[in-house]
Structure 1
Amino acid sequence: MGDVAARPLRADAERSVRAVLEAAERVLAEDPGASMEQIAAAAGVARTTIHRRFANRQSLIEALALSAARQLAQAVDDGRPDTAPPLVAMHRITANVLQVKGAWAFALGLPADPDSEAAVLQQDIDRRCVAVLRRAQAENVIDAAADLEWVRRVYYALIGESLRGGAEGPGPDGSDGGGPDAGGPGGGGSDPDALAARIIDTLLHGAGPRA
């Protein structure tokens, strides 16, 4: 009986933590030096609530970074990198990652301690990315002589530039790719699928002439 009664409290606690982390992302993106009290106000929770959940400001920032890293890892996993056809997996992962990175840009930009769970998650994401590229290479989608670590770095750079903006002009399907002012997840255009298609097209074909 007591266990059943406790469930709503746990759910409320999870919601309040989520609200605090979302508020921390918004507030710290605008002012990295913002206080715990400012974050609590933005989250609509009492100061005592935020201090009860997080021992200090550093623990809040670490929780923010870990939460964002977990969501990024889930975004990659949802793209079925090990089982979906390589091009399908690359497209799904890219669209998913654009949305997570757009929503949690500050948190994902925080330096991670090499021994932290966030750093381990990022290393696993890197490994899974190369594994998808290797599958694409085996299917002749990527040149057999290509350095896959370099391809991974270029791929990450394309995602980063897409989120930062400057992606003006039409996309590969002739539609407007849009920049950060075009709206949509992370300001990376109105449709993450269209932007993902543009990123993959650029990664695989570059800027050379098309047949």
Structure 2
Amino acid sequence: MTSLPRSSPLALTVLALLHYKPLHPYGIQRLIKDWGKEQVVNVGQRASLYRTIERLLAAELIAVRETGRDQQYPERTVYEVTEAGREVTRTWLDEMLAAPKAEFPQFPAALSHALMLAPHELLDALERRLTRVDATLRAIDAGLASESASGLPRVASLESEYLRAITAAEVKWLRGVTDDLREGRLPWSKEDLMAFAAQQENGAGPRKDLEG
């Protein structure tokens, strides 16, 4: 077996679905959507799925089961998980569950530069985000309610529970910050920020009017 490819949510998902049954790439993509895994795995670009399959195949974590034909579709290659793939799946799953990984989403990165905006500009942007995130939260709630009503075992919905928890936390945080911005409890000005930066460069302590 060649060196293992780097673990990723998509690679783990491909291996996990092939534990269910041998599949061709379209079948993998369809199951990801049918089972709601697109909430946690990005399959918007089919090319990324094919690249992941190629890496898993090169590492001998999956193998070609058969190449079939269908009157409605072109020739399709069906893949199955290998024994090595089964072992790696469990290793990756344990690592991803147990060890937090430093991730760099774009929202915190943008927040770190929010001081470049005026307070009213930041308020406008965060209010628009709040509308979208709140809608996402309602959609997650509806999905969880539907899954519960269908009798789906809770363990199959844990990722949705987690997404609900972090989405609800973001809604709460956004409401607090937008309220503070709206009521003037979170003020700043370019002049004060530039003065503070200059003092930091000169090794001076913060000015009294900039202290908490």
Q: TM-score, normalised by structure 1?
A: 0.30
Structure number having the greater helix percentage: 1
Structure number having the greater strand percentage: 2
> Rg bigger for which structure?
2
Q: TM-score, normalised by structure 2?
A: 0.30
